[in-house]
Chain A
Amino acid sequence: MEITSINPQQESLSSEELHHDLDNINQGHTDIIIEEISRGQKLLHRHKMSKPSINIGRGYGNDIILADPHICSEHVKIQLVNGFWQIQDQESINGTFLENPKEKKKPADKHILEDGDIISIGKSQLRIHFVDHPVAETVKFSPFESFINLMRHPIALLISVALFTLVSGTIFYLDKPIEVNFSQLLVPAIGMSLLFSLWPAGIALVSHLTKHDARVLTQLGICFAFFNLMWFSDLLENIVAFNSSSNSVFTVLIAILPIALAFCMLWLNCYIGFHMTAKRRMVVSIGITALLFGGSYLIKYSNKPDFNARPQYNSVLMTPSFLLTPSASVDEFIEDSNKLFDKANKAAVKD
């Protein structure tokens, strides 16, 4: 019954290939994969059927039972006719349609199915695949996998969170101009940790909602590891700012560090939480990083007054033990400062 069944596209192939393909087609036609998908084309369920006739509807007697109230009890039948799978609408109330992204959707009754066709019944959509449908290439484990596994370990996670809390507590302590006791520091420090755990929790929630693995612990572990790295980069930035003079280029270089860290964190967030192509992951993480830093820069820029009567200078001070550079002499300082007058003159002329 199957030999005559040739796909329309395959008709043009040469006879040798045809003969070879016939087996495939034969096999492909006996097995059909029907995927229930969401409107966003996300896979909800996948059925592999090996029957020549498949009934789809709301009734319990069907091969594929759908809960959509807009679907009739016996809605549609997919039947193997002369080697082709054909849709037969069972005179349903709301009809069966063929989704086509380029054209308007049209009634699907008597349509011969092709690989990748999407049919809509009621408010649900079904995608049809045959067994020879190509699959994407296998994704290799990234080299970060071991790092990710280490960070999601409960002990590692606990250490990261504790370290984060400790650092934020220390910063609260340093910022307070009056004497404070332990509990006065503990509350804001824990609050800070909870606040920062909203981000990984949010990502886990989103990946859960989009039918991906939530992986809450992994997200938490990665995020807190990076939050701690950010503290470290902050310290590094301070040390550089403290030790450098205005002439130094280090300050610019070190300013890139937090941006790079944020990008890495977002990339890993995407890697853990969502299945997406490497290119897409790159685009998403670069996009969010740009949004984050560009946005904060824009906010700062938009709040900048037209004229600032206050001098903007580097006021970073650290204890003498962080001082690594040799001191300049007063003469050198005066010489460097002399250069400012030209700059000031230019600024006065410019605006």
Chain B
Amino acid sequence: MDFTLICQHLSKIIIGCLMKYIFAFISLLFSLCITAAEQAEEIFAQLTPSLYQIKLIDKASGEKSSIGSGFQITSDGLIATNYHVISSYARHPSKYRMEYLDHQGNTNTLTLESVDVINDLALVKREVTEPMEFFVISSETPHKGEKLFSLGNPHDLGMIVVPGTYNGLKKESFSDRIHFTGSINSGMSGGPVVNKQAKVVGINVATSGNQIGFLVPHDKLVTLFNSYQQSPPDSIKAQMARQLTTSQDELMSALLNSNWESKSLGGKGAIPIIDVPFIRCWGESNADKQDALILTAVANCSLDENTYISSRFFTGSVEIEFRYMQAKELGGNKFYHLYRQQIARAGAGNRAGKDDVSEYQCHHDIVMPNNKAINNKSVFCTRAYKDFPDLYDVLYLGASIDKQQQALVSHFTISGVSQENSMAFTEKFMEAVSWK
């Protein structure tokens, strides 16, 4: 046989085989896509009757003031949603009316049954005439990379389903949050996130844009539901107060019992950095600015999350700031004059209004810690919560006054904390800041 012929024959066979494989591969991909789409479609069709849009209607104007999503979790009409969706109603029940809108366009009123303000969950109830279908809550947590489906009504556009991926729990967070890769938009808050078996594994709660979404893990809902089954709360306000008190106790004991690592700031100051993953620190200085009169180095540490109580009232925040300043070719008098302007306008770390808190009460004195390594002008301010007894916002400011041309400012704000915890923290904090 001619050698060239053999070669031609062989190449034909090889190409033929390759073509076959490629075709098989493409068709496989194609079929996979179909199954994903089919799954989403199937899940959506199956679950729609138990999905609701939750609306708060302003009684005076008769128009809706906020919207969110919710899903039924029992046959007798108990619906789970986010606390922040119904927060206005929880705070001012006489001003609003709560309503649901189901997939057939039926509307009726809802009653508020129980809330978990820390995990941003709420249970509301509709009237049912006969047992209805409901969402089953999953008993196990998803594994990383698992495909999940988020359901909700974004921007009042109608119920949609968004596929996405489970990416574990957010690490730098005190209260657990699932990191979900998929677009969650406003209005979807309170909607369920289900796995392929159509079981609820989380609740839509927040987004930080670009496909990064956050979910409340399903076990928080299970806990809330179980305690509701055992004994429904007699007053939502008292329930919230209990939850806030318990949560600040947990947070503050975590902070107080962690390792406070002494670090150097600007080479001269010794400052405490609390070694817990949910307190994150950032730094900044003006060392590059040649014409600055004062060299400044700032370290900021804060808790990334806070607790939503109403759109104008947040709590549960922790902020710590250290500032080292050194005069460059500047007299002591002018340095202290500018230094004074720096510390004159410390403010609250959280948003709160007249209806929520009292005005700040302040005390100041010249204070030296036990190690005698610094002399501070110290200011402590506190304001009390009006609706939640024995919770306060506190603010501390310490300004060193023992060096002619150097200064160390130590400052923190904590919101929604008890007197005992805040004073324990203040004492530990004041003793931990000094000159090296």
Q: Which A residues fall within an 8 A CB radius of B?
A: 173-175, 177-179, 242-243, 245-247, 306-321, 323, 325-334, 336-341, 343-345, 347-348, 350-351
B362 adjacent to A327 (CB under 8 Å): no
The reply on B369 being an interface residue by CB < 8 A is yes
B364 adjacent to A245 (CB under 8 Å): yes
Known contacts A179-B291, A311-B348, A344-B358, A317 near B334 by CB under 8 Å: no
Known contacts A320-B403, A328-B365, A334-B423, A314 near B379 by CB under 8 Å: yes
The reply on B426 being an interface residue by CB < 8 A is yes
A340 adjacent to B362 (CB under 8 Å): yes
Interface hit among B15-23, B205-213, B216-224, B349-357: B349-357
Knowing that A312-B362, A338-B423 are A-B contacts, what are 11 other residue pairs whose CB atoms are under 8 Å apart, sorted by A's residue number?
A173-B334, A175-B337, A177-B293, A306-B354, A311-B379, A315-B379, A317-B399, A337-B363, A340-B380, A341-B392, A345-B358
Known contacts A179-B293, A330-B367, A319 near B362 by CB under 8 Å: no
A341 adjacent to B382 (CB under 8 Å): yes
Question: Looking across the interface, which residue of chain A has its beta carbon closest to that of B367?
Answer: A333
Task: Specify which of A245, A337, A340 lies most central, judged by the most chain B CB atoms within 10 Å of its CB.
Answer: A337
Q: Given the complex of chains A and B, what is the CA–CA distance between A214 and B381 in angstroms?
A: 53
Contact for B353 among A243, A309, A334, A344, CB less than 8 A: A309
Known contacts A320-B402, A327-B375, A348-B385, A311 near B360 by CB under 8 Å: yes
Measured between beta carbons, the chain B residues less than 8 angstroms from A246 are 362-365
Measured between beta carbons, the chain B residues less than 8 angstroms from A316 are 340
Measured between beta carbons, the chain A residues less than 8 angstroms from B253 are none
The reply on B338 being an interface residue by CB < 8 A is yes
The reply on B430 being an interface residue by CB < 8 A is yes
The reply on B346 being an interface residue by CB < 8 A is yes
A344 adjacent to B382 (CB under 8 Å): yes
The reply on B214 being an interface residue by CB < 8 A is no
A327 adjacent to B336 (CB under 8 Å): no
The reply on B148 being an interface residue by CB < 8 A is no
Measured between beta carbons, the chain A residues less than 8 angstroms from B381 are 311, 313, 340
Known contacts A320-B403, A348-B386, A315 near B353 by CB under 8 Å: no
The reply on B368 being an interface residue by CB < 8 A is yes
Measured between beta carbons, the chain B residues less than 8 angstroms from A317 are 336, 339-340, 343, 377, 399, 401
Contact for A347 among B291, B341, B361, B369, CB less than 8 A: B361
A315 adjacent to B395 (CB under 8 Å): no
Contact for B419 among A245, A313, A341, CB less than 8 A: A341
Measured between beta carbons, the chain B residues less than 8 angstroms from A325 are 366
B362 adjacent to A309 (CB under 8 Å): no
Q: Given the complex of chains A and B, what is the CA–CA distance between A219 and B5 in angstroms?
A: 124
A307 adjacent to B365 (CB under 8 Å): no
Measured between beta carbons, the chain A residues less than 8 angstroms from B345 are 310
Known contacts A311-B347, A344-B384, A334 near B392 by CB under 8 Å: no
The reply on B359 being an interface residue by CB < 8 A is yes
Interface size on B, residues (CB 8 A): 60
The reply on B69 being an interface residue by CB < 8 A is no
In the A-B complex, the 7 residue pairs with the smallest Cβ-Cβ separation, listed nearest first, are A311-B360, A307-B354, A327-B368, A347-B358, A245-B365, A348-B358, A344-B384
Contact for B384 among A177, A319, A341, CB less than 8 A: A341
Measured between beta carbons, the chain A residues less than 8 angstroms from B363 are 245-246, 333, 336-337, 339-340
The reply on B63 being an interface residue by CB < 8 A is no
A334 adjacent to B427 (CB under 8 Å): yes
Q: Which of B365-401 contact A (CB under 8 A)?
A: 365-370, 375, 377-386, 392, 395, 397, 399, 401
Question: Looking across the interface, which residue of chain B has its beta carbon closest to that of A170?
Answer: B333
A330 adjacent to B369 (CB under 8 Å): yes
The reply on B332 being an interface residue by CB < 8 A is yes
- Report the minimum CB–CB distance from B289 to chain A (whole Å): 11
Q: Given the complex of chains A and B, what is the CA–CA distance between A22 and B183 in angstroms?
A: 116
Question: Looking across the interface, which residue of chain B has its beta carbon closest to that of A344?
Answer: B384
The reply on B285 being an interface residue by CB < 8 A is no
The reply on B141 being an interface residue by CB < 8 A is no
Question: Looking across the interface, which residue of chain A has its beta carbon closest to that of B397?
Answer: A313
Contact with A along B408-436 (1 / 0, CB 8 A): 00000000000100010011001100000
Task: Specify which of A173, A246, A319, A333 lies most central, judged by the most chain B CB atoms within 10 Å of its CB.
Answer: A333
Offer 21 A-B interface pairs, CB within 8 angstroms, sorted by A. A174-B333, A177-B293, A177-B341, A179-B293, A310-B347, A313-B360, A313-B362, A314-B364, A317-B339, A323-B375, A327-B367, A328-B365, A328-B366, A331-B427, A332-B367, A333-B367, A338-B423, A340-B361, A340-B380, A344-B382, A351-B354
Question: Looking across the interface, which residue of chain B has its beta carbon closest to that of A242?
Answer: B377
Q: Given the complex of chains A and B, what is the CA–CA distance between A319 and B430 in angstroms?
A: 21
Measured between beta carbons, the chain A residues less than 8 angstroms from B384 are 341, 344-345, 347-348
The reply on B26 being an interface residue by CB < 8 A is no
Known contacts A174-B333, A316-B340, A347-B358, A311 near B367 by CB under 8 Å: no
Measured between beta carbons, the chain B residues less than 8 angstroms from A308 are 359-360
Q: Given the complex of chains A and B, what is the CA–CA distance between A21 and B369 in angstroms?
A: 90
A323 adjacent to B293 (CB under 8 Å): no
Q: Given the complex of chains A and B, what is the CA–CA distance between A317 and B399 in angstroms?
A: 8
The reply on B157 being an interface residue by CB < 8 A is no
Known contacts A174-B337, A327-B368, A344-B392, A333 near B380 by CB under 8 Å: yes
Measured between beta carbons, the chain A residues less than 8 angstroms from B431 are 330
Q: Given the complex of chains A and B, what is the CA–CA distance between A225 and B69 in angstroms?
A: 73
Q: Given the complex of chains A and B, what is the CA–CA distance between A341 and B365 in angstroms?
A: 17
Measured between beta carbons, the chain A residues less than 8 angstroms from B419 are 338, 341
The reply on B404 being an interface residue by CB < 8 A is yes
B366 adjacent to A337 (CB under 8 Å): no
The reply on B344 being an interface residue by CB < 8 A is yes
Measured between beta carbons, the chain B residues less than 8 angstroms from A332 are 365, 367
Question: Looking across the interface, which residue of chain B has its beta carbon closest to that of A347?
Answer: B358
Known contacts A179-B293, A328-B367, A315 near B343 by CB under 8 Å: yes
Q: Given the complex of chains A and B, what is the CA–CA distance between A315 and B337 in angstroms?
A: 11
Q: Given the complex of chains A and B, what is the CA–CA distance between A351 and B358 in angstroms?
A: 8
- Report the minimum CB–CB distance from B314 to chain A (whole Å): 12
Measured between beta carbons, the chain A residues less than 8 angstroms from B377 are 242, 317
Contact with A along B134-171 (1 / 0, CB 8 A): 00000000000000000000000000000000000000
B347 adjacent to A333 (CB under 8 Å): no
Contact with A along B317-341 (1 / 0, CB 8 A): 0000000000000001111111111
Q: Given the complex of chains A and B, what is the CA–CA distance between A204 and B286 in angstroms?
A: 53
- Report the minimum CB–CB distance from A320 to chain B (whole Å): 6
Q: Given the complex of chains A and B, what is the CA–CA distance between A116 and B368 in angstroms?
A: 76
- Report the minimum CB–CB distance from A351 to chain B (whole Å): 8
- Report the minimum CB–CB distance from A81 to chain B (whole Å): 81
Question: Looking across the interface, which residue of chain A has its beta carbon closest to that of B423?
Answer: A334
